Amino acid sequence: MELAPHSLWYHEEALPQTRLRTIVRRLPALVRTALKLAWKASPADTAATIGLNVIVGLLGAVGLLATTGVLDALLTGGPAPDRLRAAMPALIGVAAALTARSLLQSTAAWTQSRLKPRVDRLAERRLFELTTAVALRAMDDADFYDAMQRARSRGARGAALVVDAGVGLITSAAGIAAAAGTLAVLHPVLLPLLLVSVLPAGWATAHSARMQYQVIYKLSTSMRRQWILSDLMADRRPAPEIRAFGMRDFLLEQYDDVARLSENAHVDLARRQALARFAGEATNGVVAAFVYAALGVLLMAGAVPLAIVGGTVLAIRMGRSSLSALVGAANDVYDEGLYFSDYLDFCKEAEHRTSQHRLGLPAPEFAGVEVHEVSFTYPGAERAALRDISLKIGKGEVIALVGENGSGKTTLAKIIAGLYEPDSGTVLWDGAPLALLDRDAVRQKIAMIPQDHTPWPLTARQNITAGVDIDDDAVIGAAELAGIHRTIEELPEGYDTLLDPRFKMGHELSGGQWQRVAAARGFCRRAPLLLCDEPTSALDPRAEHAFFDSIRHFAETDPAAPQAIVLITHRLTSVLMADRIYVLAGGRLAESGTHPELMDLGGLYASLFKLQAEAYTP
Ligand SMILES: Nc1ncnc2c1ncn2[C@@H]1O[C@H](COP(=O)(O)OP(=O)(O)OP(=O)(O)O)[C@@H](O)[C@H]1O
């Protein structure tokens, strides 16, 4: 399979939200949102950081005015000792203002650096609250996946960086206000000149940030693919297959393809950014020279008294550095704001895709599930995975879903479990439409042994309880039922053994053993409806037989046993005892009935069954 056409991994479309004007308009809202997040993370540190930085700015003005006072006293006529004596109070003022400024600056830096990890954690936590709650369908949507990747890789970190830049913006604004106040007293005409002098560099940095964001946006799919390939090449699970199939060169080629795309885009970006910087710096130098020349002319023309000259120069320098800091901070807010906007947009979209159905609760007694004319198509898929499916699962029944690969069995099970919402048709739980019920309450009534179970990097016990508070007896009971109790007991730390060899003391299980752990996780739930999606595909025949025997025994004897079981399997001998068998073909319901009825029908089921039976006949 060829996986590398660039159009698949590279977004060519325009990025309207990166226009400078749009972003400048969004700046206040971005800073406000980031500061709200900072406040939530730590009100004390946020208040201290902003308050201290504003005071630092004001102390700068006090220092400037005091310096002008010192110069004024020193440059006035009279004997030197008298001038020095007259300058003393202002000199003490300068020293006090500078010392207090430095101390407060260090304290502000400390409180600000305490904020960052807190905001980081809060933003990331929010992201994962949403990624674990969005409707499963969103996870199949490539656009949503890209947005999630952008929010994860840069966006969440952007929150703390926007907070930092926002604080920088406030700090430099306070510095400018201080310098502007001082300049207004000394010579106000210099202020607009200063503003003009920093604009070229400001434009250059904002422009290059925008170019960088555009490249990262366009590369987001290719970067995601690059990470996936990097993970595959440096992970232990695919390692045997890579070697056995000699896939190394092929994978490296695939990697080169996307990595080179990224490399070329970044090299080109570096060139364009350098050009923008050169242009900005060159213009900036010319404008700065003009500003100082204008000041020189004013001084020579005697427009400003000599005593004010020193203070004016210092105020210009302070104003200029504060303005550069302001442009820098605004640029950082803009730069990080682009990523933070991605994060905020993703959170909004994810909230939108998180369905909260809280209109009612499913009845405490399980009465049954009815699927009525359900159709479903995966996002971006051309063909429907399910078309007009209707079936019933009654209390006390074992229902089997069979059919060839891709016929829609797993999709149907996920719809019954409420993991996907059908495009049309309804699923009725105890007579009530699933869409109107409280999702969490419904999910507590369902246990699932999925086909694609996850080997969680947790202990054996946690792999079975899946985070639910369940007593040891129930855990052991479920493990016994799944036939994995003895294996777990023999592990070095028993149920407390970490099941992941990537960590020290971690232990690996075989494929069949993992499947039994997944089954134990399903049994442990003690839910009225148990959905088993090929629960024995990795088990040997003896184990498979024992597995179904123990489920039957469990269902007949244990009050905590499921009241209905849906079994998906390709081993048709396992469904002989089912109360009803539904046969799917190409997403449609082809046949239904008991085993004898379907055999009499002589249709798809009968032919599949005979085919399997023949395979065991010499
Ligand atoms: N996440 C997905 N996104 C898009 N299409 C999907 C997704 N999962 C399954 N499909 C498609 O939906 C159809 C039904 O798949 P499903 O997994 O339900 O079949 P199945 O009967 O369980 O197959 P198998 O016996 O191989 O497990 C298939 O054509 C498959 O390609």
The DSSP code sequence of 236-285 is TTTHHHHHHTT-HHHHHHHHHHHHHHHHHHHHHHHHHHHHHHHHHHHHHH
Q: What separation in Å is there between the alpha carbon of 373 and the centre of ligand 1?
A: 19
pLDDT score, position 5: 45
Residues 301 and 167 in one domain: yes
Whether residue 486 lies inside any domain: the answer is: no
Instruction: Compute the average pLDDT of residues 183-194.
Output: 69
Q: Which domain holds residue 440?
A: 362-445+563-618
Q: Point out the domain boundary residue: 292, 322, 352.
A: 352
Q: Which one, of 388, 387, 395, 402, lies nearest residue 594 by Cα?
A: 402
450 alpha carbon – ligand 1 mean position (Å):
13
Q: What is the atom index within ligand 1 of the atom nearest the CA of 404?
A: 25
* Of 16-25, 316-325, 517-526, minimum mean pLDDT range: 16-25
Per-residue pLDDT at 4 = 41
Least confident of 151-155, 296-300, 342-346, 363-367: 363-367
Ranges 97-111, 166-180, 419-433: which has the least confidence: 166-180
Query: 267 and 340 share a domain?
Result: yes
Closest C-alpha residue for ligand 1 atom 16: 408
* Distance in Å, CA 538 to ligand 1 centroid: 19
pLDDT of 21 > 80? The answer is no
CA 28 to ligand 1 center in whole angstroms: 46
Long-range contacts of 363-367 (CB under 8 A, 24+ apart): 363/430, 363/432, 365/430, 366/395, 366/430, 366/445, 366/528, 366/529, 366/563, 366/564, 367/395, 367/430, 367/431
Task: Give the residue-averaged pLDDT of 1-15.
Answer: 48
Is the pLDDT score of 435 beyond 60? yes
Q: 310 and 420: one domain?
A: no
CATH number, domain containing residue 397: 3.40.50.300
Q: Is the pLDDT of residue 338 over 70?
A: yes
Task: Report how far ligand 1's centroid is from the alpha carbon of 378 (Å).
Answer: 9
Domain for residue 96, yes or no? yes
Q: Is the pLDDT of residue 20 over 90?
A: no
Q: How far is the CA of 101 from the centre of ligand 1 (A)?
A: 65
CATH code (residue 188): 1.20.1560.10
Q: Do the Cβ atoms of 251 and 233 come closer than 8 Å?
A: yes
How far, in Å, from the CA of 411 to the mean position of ligand 1? Answer: 6
Task: Name the domain boundary from 352, 387, 407.
Answer: 352
Q: Is 405 in the pocket of ligand 1 (CB under 6 A)?
A: yes
Q: Ligand 1 centroid to 410 CA: how many Å?
A: 7
User: What pLDDT shows up at residue 202?
Assistant: 67
173 and 276: one domain?
yes
**ipTM of the modeled complex:** 0.97
Same domain, 114 and 140: yes
Does the beta carbon of 450 sit less than 6 angstroms from any atom of ligand 1? no
Please say if the pLDDT value at position 383 is more than 70: yes
381 lines ligand 1 (CB under 6 A): yes
Query: Does 271 score more than 90 pLDDT?
Result: yes
Buried b (16+ CB within 10 A) or exposed e, 289-318: eebeeebeebbeeeebeeebbbbbbbbbeb
Ligand 1 pocket, residue 145 CB under 6 Å: no
Q: Is 374 found in the same domain as 348?
A: no
For residue 108, report the distance from its CA to the centre of ligand 1, in Å.
Answer: 56
Helix (H, G, I), strand (E, B) or coil at 157: helix
Residue where a domain stops, chosen among 318, 352, 386: 352
Does 426 have pLDDT greater than 60? yes
Q: From ligand 1's centre to the CA of 446, what distance in Å? A: 21
Neighbours of 24 (CB within 10 A): 14
Do the domain assignments include residue 38?
yes
pLDDT tens digits for range 219-268: 877 887 888 888 888 877 788 788 877 888 989 998 998 899 999 999 99
Task: Note the pLDDT tens digit of each residue in 483-514.
Answer: 899 999 999 999 999 998 888 888 889 988 99
Tell me which residue has its CA closest to atom 17 in ligand 1: 410
Which sign, positive or negative, has the C-alpha torsion 349, 354, 358, 360?
A: positive
> Which amino acid residue places its CA nearest to atom 6 of ligand 1?
378
Cβ–ligand 1 contact at 409 (below 6 Å): yes
Q: Do 59 and 79 fall within a single domain?
A: yes
Whether 467 shows a pLDDT value over 80: the answer reads yes
- Which residue has its alpha carbon closest to ligand 1 atom 27? 405
598 versus 75: which is more confidently predicted?
598
84 and 134 belong to one structural domain? yes
Using the Cα atoms of residue 330, residue 335, residue 338 and residue 343 in order, give the sign of their dihedral. Answer: negative
Determine what percent of the chain is predicted with pLDDT higher than 90.
29
Percentage of the chain beyond pLDDT 70 is 89
Pair (262, 399) in one structural domain = no
> Residues 418, 134: contact at Cβ < 8 Å?
no
Distance CA 116, CA 164 (A): 8
280 and 245 share one domain: yes
Place of tokens 């980081």: 120
pLDDT band at 476 (very low <50, low <70, confident <90, very high): very high
The verdict on the CB of residue 456 being under 6 Å from ligand 1 is no
Q: Which of 409, 414, 534 to mutate to test the pocket of ligand 1 (most atoms within 8 A of CB)?
A: 409
Instruction: Give the number of the atom of ligand 1 that is nearest the alpha carbon of residue 587.
Output: 14
Task: Give the other-Cβ count within 10 Å of 445's Cβ.
Answer: 22
Strands 424-429 and 398-403: unpaired
Q: What mean pLDDT value characterizes the chain?
A: 83
The alpha carbon of 150 and the centre of ligand 1 are apart by a number of angstroms equal to 27
Number of structural domains, the chain?
Answer: 2
How far apart CA 61 and CA 181 sit, in angstroms, is 8
Tell me, yes or no, whether 106 lies in a domain.
yes
Calpha distance 422→587 (Å, rounded): 13
Q: What pLDDT does residue 356 have?
A: 62
Q: Which residue's C-alpha comes closest to atom 31 of ligand 1? A: 406
How many angstroms does the Cα of residue 386 sit away from the middle of ligand 1? 10
Q: Quick check: 334 and 27 in contact, CB under 8 A?
A: yes
Domain identity same for 347 and 370: no
Q: Is the CB of 419 under 6 A from ligand 1?
A: no
Task: Report the first-to-last Cα separation within the chain, whole angstroms.
Answer: 38
514, part of any domain: no
Q: Ligand 1 centre from 22 Cα, in Å?
A: 42
Which residue among 402, 411, 532 has the greatest number of ligand 1 atoms within 8 angstroms of its CB, and so is best to mutate?
Answer: 411
Looking at the fold, whether 441 and 580 belong to one and the same domain comes out as yes
Higher pLDDT, 232 or 26: 232
- The pLDDT, as a whole number, for residue 275 is 92
Say which amino acid occupies 247.
M
Which has the minimum average pLDDT: 92-106, 199-213, 597-611? 199-213
Question: Helices in 385-450 by DSSP H: which ranges?
Answer: 409-416, 439-443
Amino acid in position 322: S
| Residue 437 DSSP SS3 | coil
Distance CA 300, CA 402 (A): 96
Q: What sign has the CA pseudo-torsion 343, 344, 345, 346?
A: positive
Cβ of 142 below 6 Å from ligand 1: no
408 lines ligand 1 (CB under 6 A): yes
What is the structure's pLDDT at 1? 35
Mean pLDDT of 173-179: 81
Cβ burial, residue 507 (10 Å; 0-12/13-18/19+): middle
Can you read off the two tokens belonging to residue 392? 């019933």
In this model, does residue 2 exceed pLDDT 50? Answer: no
Q: How confident is the model at residue 361 (pLDDT cuts 50, 70, 90)?
A: low
Q: Is residue 471 part of a domain?
A: no
Residue 366 within a domain: yes
Q: Whose CA is nearest to atom 29 of ligand 1?
A: 406
Task: Answer whether 60 contacts ligand 1 (Cβ < 6 A).
Answer: no
Q: Answer yes or no: is 509 within a domain.
A: no
pLDDT band at 16 (very low <50, low <70, confident <90, very high): very low
